[in-house]
Amino acid sequence: MHTGTRILILGGMGIAACGFLLGIGMIAARARAARAPRYLLAAHLAALIQGGLLLGVAAAVRFSGVGAAPETAGAALLVGGVVLFDLGLVWNWIQGVQDGFGEKSPGNKISAAGTPFVLVGFAILFWGVIAGL
């Protein structure tokens, strides 16, 4: 198994685990209020979805037609970008942010910083899989 695949699997499981843990926070929040905080809900759902996405990409990368080095770089960029995105959502929740865009919150800037990593990392992996088919 290539290092890139390992990064994707560990990243996917780690992000999914964070999503489950944030679900516990949602239970606690819902016990005190009619709704969970917006960014807690967003972080919970994003982590669960992105964890599954990373695991799916790990399965697809088996068909990659590029070498281990590009796969590892793409996987590291993709996982790093997802971590930044989710970290920004969690930071917004902890800070009690209501509108990350409107408030130009630090959490929103953290999430935005992950976007280029996600785009470049996924493009590398996507290109590798297409080249291998």
- The pLDDT tens digits of the residues spanning 64-89 come to 998 899 999 999 999 999 999 999 99
Helix (H, G, I), strand (E, B) or coil at 26: helix
Structural domain containing residue 59: 3-132
Closest CA to 97 of 43, 49, 18: 43
Helix (H, G, I), strand (E, B) or coil at 129: helix
Number of domains forming the structure of the chain: 1
pLDDT digits (tens, 9 = 90+) for 92-117: 999 999 999 899 999 999 999 999 99
CA dist 23 → 5, 42, 44, 100, 108 (Å): 27, 11, 6, 21, 21
pLDDT at site 77: 98
As a whole number, mean pLDDT of residues 11-39 equals 95
> Does 60 have pLDDT greater than 90?
yes
> Does 38 have pLDDT greater than 90?
yes
> How does residue 126 score in pLDDT terms, banded at 50, 70 and 90?
very high
Q: What percent of the chain has pLDDT over 90?
A: 95
Integer Cα distance of 32 and 109 in angstroms: 29
Would you state the structure tokens that stand for residue 123, as one six-digit string? Answer: 């493009």
Integer Cα distance of 40 and 93 in angstroms: 5
As a whole number, mean pLDDT of residues 115-123 equals 98
pLDDT at site 7: 98
DSSP states along 69-124:
HHHHHHHHHHHHHHHHHHHHHHHHHHHT-S-HHHHT-HHHHHHHHHHHHHHHHHHH
